[in-house]
Structure 1
Amino acid sequence: MEEYSVNRAKSEPKNGSMQATVIAEMRRRIIKGDIEPGAPLSELALADEFGVSRTPVREALKQLQTEGLVEIRPRVGTFVTIPSRREITELFEMKELIEGAAARLLAQRGRVPEIDLLERNLREADEAVERDDRERYAELVHEFHDLLVAGADNTKLQAHYRMLMNQLAYARLVMTSLSQPGRATQSDREHHLVLELILAKDGDSAEQVMREHVRASRRALLAGLPISGRHAGSGVASN
């Protein structure tokens, strides 16, 4: 996603494009974890930062609420969403369905460009696991899942997947599941198996193994969450 500096934001027209800029930038900050879960968001402060009136900021926050990234509490304020364990479980159930379907669809397509990119991704992932570089491996995990969905070549599936990943704040949350002992190594093996089945054009098995992989990621994720059932911004997501 393109990043917008504040200076660039201020130089753009104060119209619908400015509202889109605020949405994109705030979405990016929340997903990356630049703004912590539960943090309050001030319309006035954001309007001042972006050099606009409060109206485009208010509309941007409404859109982010629709996407599940912020919570607007009447007469209280606006806050970055903190998903509960139940909400995370439900989101992962949907993630399992979407990514399982993506694996099946990709297996039916043959040697498309995404296959080469997935093979390169796994080579780099193997190296990251060998170095115990969890930060780099987390980036490659994100890329693997994005490539899988892109390779399915289904725009509706991709749209639902992107909104789902935004609600999970994927980039911010992936490290919690990887912090579980042995999870990075097992995750890497699961990715390899999924791709082997895709290359074999075994759509049924590719879907099954992909769904099992997402379930394993969910178990690792929930094992790293606080007992209270609300995460505190320390990162959890499918890997």
Structure 2
Amino acid sequence: MDAELKPVKIDDLRPIREIVFMELKKAIFDGRIKEGEHLVENMIAEKMNVSRTPVREALRQLEAEGLVINIPRRGAIVKGITMKDAEEIYDLREVLEGLMVRLACQNRTEEDISRLNQILVLMEKAVQEKKYNKYLELHKDYNDIILSSSKNKKLQLMMENIYEYLTSLRSVSLYSQDRRVLAIEEHRQIVNAIDKRNEVEAEKLARSHVKKAKKSFFDNLIEAND
């Protein structure tokens, strides 16, 4: 692995495993570490001037997010997704999610709206308690309800594929606590528009939400590399 990785800064107060994880993820996204490359613990530890333990933990997290696969007797290999891939995924998501909420406006039930509002309350609680994994679970439930409400099987298949990619991007786009709080408010506005069956407003809000998520994703990658 020839990628240039920055040593951990002494004044960076984040957990070392988090710093290593974000730096490796950034390197994968911007192409410094390419698909098919081996991620060798001791080499990464040496380049970043850390012990092997946080590197091992970071590699496990990358594997959990689908960016790395662990092959017996070969070790961790980059599965990868580039910055260009991420940009294209967000652009597709913006258009398709706009269509998704328009269709949800036409087909949603009172039960759908009730469940969505319940989820938003639970998401707020998860953010307040800083339970990030719980927040992501609820986020998936939120998307699943609206997607199901669209009643469009082809769209559902396409969005499920996009959301699978987004699993590895959300930890960056929703990296800051402030962004999570704002995202919930954006979700609430979208649910209100769906409740009123306002297709134009729902699509506008959904596309705006995706644009903000995309901006947050790239801003956080730049910040992680400063």
Indicate the TM-score class for this superposition, using the shorter chain for normalisation.
0.5 to 0.7
Preserved CA contact (<8 Å) 1:134 1:175: no
1:142-161 alignment, distance < 5 Å: 142-161=140-159
1:79, CA displacement in angstroms? 4.9
**Superposition map of 1:41-120 within 5 A:** 41=71, 79-111=77-109, 113-120=111-118
Q: Gaps (5+ residues) in structure 2?
A: 1-59
Match of 2:67 among 18, 37, 41: 37
Deviations along 1:174-233, whole A, 9 cap, x unmatched? 22222225101100100000000000110110011001101111111112226899xxxx
Q: How many residues align?
A: 165
Instruction: Tell me: CA distance 1:154–1:175, structure 2 relative to 1, closer, same or farther (3 Å).
Output: same
Task: Specify whether residues 80 and 160 from structure 1 end up closer, same or farther in structure 2 by C-alpha distance, changes over 3 A only.
Answer: farther
Q: Which residue of 2 aligns with 1:205?
A: 201
Change in CA separation of 1:154 and 1:226 when aligned onto 2, cut-off 3 Å:
same
TM-aligned CA distance change 1:217 to 1:159, over 3 Å: same
Alignment RMSD: 2.9
Give aligned-pair identity as a percent: 21
The answer for the alignment partner of 1:65 in structure 2 is none
- The residue that corresponds to 1:12 in the other structure is none
Residues 35 and 118 of structure 1: CA distance in aligned 2, closer, same or farther (over 3 Å): closer
In structure 1, give the amino acid aligned to 2:182.
Answer: Q
Query: How many angstroms apart in 1 are the aligned matches of 2:199 and 2:172?
Result: 30
What TM-score do the two structures reach when normalised by structure 1?
0.60
Map of 2:215 onto structure 1: 219
Cα distance in 1 for partners of 2:106, 2:192 equals 13
CA distance in 2, matches of 1:228, 1:138: 21
Q: 2:125 aligns with which of 124, 127, 133?
A: 127
Assess, with a 3 A threshold, how the Cα gap between structure 1 residues 31 and 206 changes in structure 2: closer, same or farther: farther
1:177 and 2:152 correspond: no
Runs of 4+ in 1 over 6 A off after TM superposition: none
Query: Which segment is superposed worse, 33-42 or 104-113?
Result: 33-42
Q: Give the structure-2-normalised TM-score.
A: 0.64
Q: Which consecutive residues of structure 1, in runs of 5 or more, have no partner in the other structure?
A: 1-29, 47-77, 230-239
Q: Deviations over 1:6-57 (max 9, x none)?
A: xxxxxxxxxxxxxxxxxxxxxxxx9994376244646xx79xxxxxxxxxxx
Asked whether the 8 Å contact 1:114–1:150 carries over to 2, the reply is: no
- Alpha carbons of structure 1 residues 89 and 35: separation in structure 2 relative to 1, 3 Å: closer
SS at match of 1:191: helix
